[in-house]
Amino acid sequence: MFAPVLIGLVPAALATVVVKRQDTQNAASFAKIVDPKKECKWYSEPTLSKIMDKQFPSTEGIASIVDGDEDAKKIWQEIQDSGIIPGHVKVKDGSSNNYSVDSSALHDYNTKSDPDCWWTASKCTTPKTNADKIGSDLERCEEPSTWGLTFDDGPHCAHNEFYNFLQEHKLRASMFFIGSNVVSYPLQAQRALVDGHDLCVHSWSHHSMTTLSNEQVFAELYYTAKAIKVVTGATPQCWRPPFGDTDDRVRAIAAGLGMRNVLWDKDTDDWKMDEGTGQSEIESNYRKIISRANSTSPIVLAHEVSTHTMNMFMTMYPEIEKAFQHIVPVTACVNATKPGPEDITYPNFAQYVSGDIGAKGQPDGENIKVNADAKYQPTPLAQQTQKGSFMNPNVDATSSSANSTSSGSSDSASSGNSTSTDANSSNDKSSETDSTVKSAAMRVSVSLMALFIPLFVAML
Ligand SMILES: *[C@@H]1O[C@H](CO)[C@@H](O)[C@H](O)[C@H]1NC(C)=O
Ligand SMILES: *[C@@H]1O[C@H](CO)[C@@H](O)[C@H](O)[C@H]1NC(C)=O
Ligand SMILES: *[C@@H]1O[C@H](CO)[C@@H](O)[C@H](O)[C@H]1NC(C)=O
Ligand SMILES: *[C@@H]1O[C@H](CO)[C@@H](O)[C@H](O)[C@H]1NC(C)=O
Ligand SMILES: *[C@@H]1O[C@H](CO)[C@@H](O)[C@H](O)[C@H]1NC(C)=O
Ligand SMILES: *[C@@H]1O[C@H](CO)[C@@H](O)[C@H](O)[C@H]1NC(C)=O
């Protein structure tokens, strides 16, 4: 990651040489590489490189609105003008450069009355302000014995073996992507859509969202969603806060950007392997979840953050599959059959568990392209009346008998098709502590640097 930084450090001629060393053409050919070193070799995607500086924040640090980005400013103004952001919810004190919530903030907060529905303090999941426009956070599936399959912090550069595994076992998952990873590994991000996974937002830089200003929260989500749109052509309408750290202020900004908050009910704590926790302890975390397969249907938190965490899922999968009747992505879990404005549809729960798992309408690996002109146009949650959207799920988007309830304004027609033209044209709180941040963002950069520096030195 941090490609622009690397460009900054390396003389242009050398950067060009590096580009030539990565000879993959598109998502399809890239998907065939299974040597992690080759997968993680830095490459430049020319269309994206041209627009990075002007259209995206730095891949290092907290996102803010890019100078001169009138599109972003306009949308941010609209969200503020809509009045959805509650004024009474304070920015929480952060520590470690706002990677985490400061313990004093928790200490000073009235967890009992919990006025902000602050999950980190109370595990509150139903907003106390504007609940009708925002919806409750998603934590479990309703159908019995169902595992909601989700992975955070991708795309990881070396995820092909893991994605191959998902494909071979006819599994689709919800992928919560970090924006700075999406722009650093666009071919990997594209594979996720091509394979039919759900694409959701996990912030730009993996900071604690409740410690950031309104505008920073906006920029963290906006630019991640925009990156997914520009790189893959899909508009994400689901997101997960890093560390689960959300409150009614953060939820409202996300809702203004049309994103439903997805949390989790069970946590594998798999990321701790990268901090030295032994494999057996993580296996036992998995087995605790597995042992309750007959009585619970949790959305489960696991990570795409390292080969350790990806391998762990592959190791545990046979046991999960044996115990749970169903393993589904969030779209199937809640019947979000048409989560975005593009004509990309996902099977509902019944279809998915009967074996019809494929998404429809997404580009294939030969044709998917980065589209510098793709317009990211969010539809606020309150306006998502389209059947099968994250605000109006549980209704089959493809069934003629389905009944569109009006949970918001009457904007569904324009939101339904407004951006479909470029769909194809281009293209447990305790778990995630401070150190996850480093795994999420820095670890990747460190490993990349480790790969890159020898190459750089060799050239000199
Ligand atoms: C955290 O973010 C807030 C809001 O932008 C800012 O005022 C504060 O200085 C930041 N704190 C740290 C430790 O970076
Ligand atoms: C779930 O129920 C089935 C059938 O009753 C039983 O065979 C199985 O052992 C149970 N699984 C767990 C994990 O309790
Ligand atoms: C999803 O749709 C199915 C019908 O396909 C229905 O039986 C089920 O209750 C729905 N699930 C949810 C969470 O509403
Ligand atoms: C649509 O669903 C709503 C709420 O479930 C119900 O009140 C209404 O009668 C339904 N309309 C049709 C045409 O089925
Ligand atoms: C979107 O546009 C396509 C092509 O013009 C049309 O076939 C489709 O019915 C439209 N979808 C919606 C939801 O309006
Ligand atoms: C998208 O591209 C594929 C492959 O080129 C094509 O088959 C499909 O019809 C296109 N879809 C739209 C909506 O243009």
Residue type, 36: P
What pLDDT is attached to residue 22? Answer: 53
Ligand 5 contact via 420 beta carbon (within 6 Å): yes
CA distances in angstroms from 126 to 35, 46, 134, listed in the order given:
44, 43, 9
| Cα–Cα distance, 195 to 159 (Å, whole number) | 13
Q: Which residues are catalytic?
A: 152, 303
CA distances in angstroms from 134 to 197, 334, 456, listed in the order given:
24, 16, 48
Task: Indicate the CATH number of 81-435 among 3.10.350.10, 3.30.450.30, 3.20.20.370, 3.40.50.300.
Answer: 3.20.20.370
Helices and strands counted in the chain (H then E): 21, 10
Among the bound ligands, the one closest to the CA of 140 = 3
Ligand 6 contact via 424 beta carbon (within 6 Å): yes
For every residue of 98-161, which 3-state class applies, written as one string?
CCEECHHHHHHCCCCCCCCCCHHHHCCCCCCCCHHHHCCCECECCCCCEEEEEEEEECCCCCHH
What pLDDT is attached to residue 24? Answer: 62
| Cα–Cα distance, 5 to 3 (Å, whole number) | 5
What pLDDT is attached to residue 439? Answer: 40
The pick from 342, 343, 419 for probing ligand 5's pocket by mutation, whose C-beta has the most ligand atoms within 8 angstroms, reads 343
Residue 347, sorted as left (phi over 0), alpha (psi -120 to 50) or beta, turns out to be beta
**95 alpha carbon to ligand 1 midpoint, in Å?**
8
Among the bound ligands, the one closest to the CA of 387 = 5
What pLDDT is attached to residue 386? Answer: 87
pLDDT tens digit sequence for 217-246: 999 999 999 999 999 999 999 999 999 999
| Cα–Cα distance, 358 to 340 (Å, whole number) | 16
What pLDDT is attached to residue 408? Answer: 31
What pLDDT is attached to residue 395? Answer: 62
Ligand 3 contact via 82 beta carbon (within 6 Å): no
Among the bound ligands, the one closest to the CA of 90 = 1
Looking only at Cα atoms, what is the longest distance across the chain? 67
The pick from 342, 344, 366, 424 for probing ligand 6's pocket by mutation, whose C-beta has the most ligand atoms within 8 angstroms, reads 424
Q: How many CB atoms lie within 10 A of CB 20?
A: 9
**CA 225 from centroid of its chain's CA atoms:** 9
The pick from 235, 379, 387, 420 for probing ligand 5's pocket by mutation, whose C-beta has the most ligand atoms within 8 angstroms, reads 420
Residue with tokens 């450069």, as numbered in its chain: 97
What pLDDT is attached to residue 425? Answer: 27
- The answer to whether the CB of 189 falls within 8 A of the CB of 155 is yes
- In which residue ranges of the chain is pLDDT below 50? 1-21, 399-460
H or E element in which residue 333 lies: helix 330-334
**74 alpha carbon to ligand 5 midpoint, in Å?**
26
What pLDDT is attached to residue 64? Answer: 98
H or E element in which residue 229 lies: helix 214-232
* Closest atom of ligand 5 to CA, residue 413: 14
Domain boundaries, the chain: 81-435
**137 alpha carbon to ligand 6 midpoint, in Å?**
34
**287 alpha carbon to ligand 2 midpoint, in Å?**
14
**403 alpha carbon to ligand 4 midpoint, in Å?**
6
* Closest atom of ligand 3 to CA, residue 351: 5
